Structure 1
Amino acid sequence: MPTNMRIRLLLGLALLSTGLLAGAFGYGAANLVPTFNAVPLDLRLSFHAELMKRNGITMQAAMAVSTLGSLTLATLTPGRARLIAGTAALLTLASFLITRLGNVPINGRIKEWALTSAPVDHAEILRRWELFNNLRTLTALTAFALLILLALKRPPTGRNQSSAAPIASRA
């Protein structure tokens, strides 16, 4: 398969996975969190704990594919395309690290609270979870925007190739 076709497929994979990641985080920030805050605490804790069981695998997979797709794209493209794809990879990696080091430990506590009761300082802990959620949403959305920019600009080509034709004109 020609290098340019591999690059285009990688860009498509990176766009798809990063778009799904940004969309899932965006939906959570715009809809789930306000709903969490509008229902009684015991309902929120039970639902949150159940939701995290299902999110664990799908969200980690989306973060991994987003990061690896963008990183691979960065290694196969030159110049500005490399910088943009590499930055997208770092941003999706940041989403992963924020999730693993920020949200996941709090999710574990929420799971315990759902079975017992929330501590006195639960509101502050839940605010911290929301802050981490907003940060990972922002990093994922920014990575997605960068990949869109890359797709709309000059097509990413292999190291020894160059082309000034935009992707749309080559379709």
Structure 2
Amino acid sequence: MPIRLVLGLALLSTGALAGAFGYGAANLVPTFDAVPLPMRLSFHARLMEMNGITMQGAMGLSAVSSAVLAVMSRGTPRWLAGGAGLLALTSFLITRLGNVPINGRIKEWAVSTAPLDHAEILDRWEAFNYARTGAAFAAFVLLIALALRRSGAAR
């Protein structure tokens, strides 16, 4: 498989991931905080159902394409691609181990009542969200650096 194709796939998937997480962090989270709790919980639960496949698919494709790119590369490009793959994997792990369990609780609250400590739990979800967003952006930056290096534009 040509390295340019793999690099393109890695850039596309990681850029989409960073963009989606960035939009969520910049626009959805502040909106969540500005609406009444029942509306937030209902919307959040439905949004996470829709995001389940697409976002995890983007994280997986970002990690795999970056890892393949690392295997195909040598020297600094290998380190950049490998780092991007690890950051995409980090984003996935934060999501699966941090956000997803809380999403399950939010889904329950949307049809019942939120517990008294709901604000602390929602703050924890937001912290995980910002961490996975940062990991996705860092992965994208490493791949951009790799692409610029390959094109000679960074010299």
After TM superposition, is the score higher than 0.5? Answer: yes
- The answer to whether structure 1 residue 97 and structure 2 residue 100 are counterparts is no
Which has more helix, going by share of residues? Answer: 2
Aligned length: 154
Per the alignment, residue 138 of structure 1 pairs with 134
Deviations along 1:80-121, one digit per CA (max 9) or x if unpaired, are 000000000000000000000000000000000000010000
Secondary structure, aligned partner of 1:120: coil
Per the alignment, residue 161 of structure 1 pairs with none
Identity percentage of aligned residues: 69
Gapped runs of 5+ residues in structure 2?
none
Task: Calculate the aligned-residue CA RMSD, in Å.
Answer: 1.2
Query: For the residues of structure 2 that align with 1:14 and 1:78, how far apart are their CA atoms?
Result: 17
Per the alignment, residue 17 of structure 1 pairs with 13
Q: TM-score, normalised by structure 2?
A: 0.97
The structure with more radius of gyration: 1
Deviations along 1:115-161, one digit per CA (max 9) or x if unpaired, are 00100000000000000000000000000000000000135xxxxxx
- The answer to whether structure 1 residue 120 and structure 2 residue 127 are counterparts is no
Q: CA deviation at 1:167?
A: 7.2
Secondary structure, aligned partner of 2:11: helix
Query: For the residues of structure 2 that align with 1:14 and 1:131, how far apart are their CA atoms?
Result: 26
TM alignment of 1:12-161, pairs within 5 A: 12-155=8-151
Per the alignment, residue 163 of structure 1 pairs with none
Query: For the residues of structure 2 that align with 1:154 and 1:96, how far apart are their CA atoms?
Result: 27
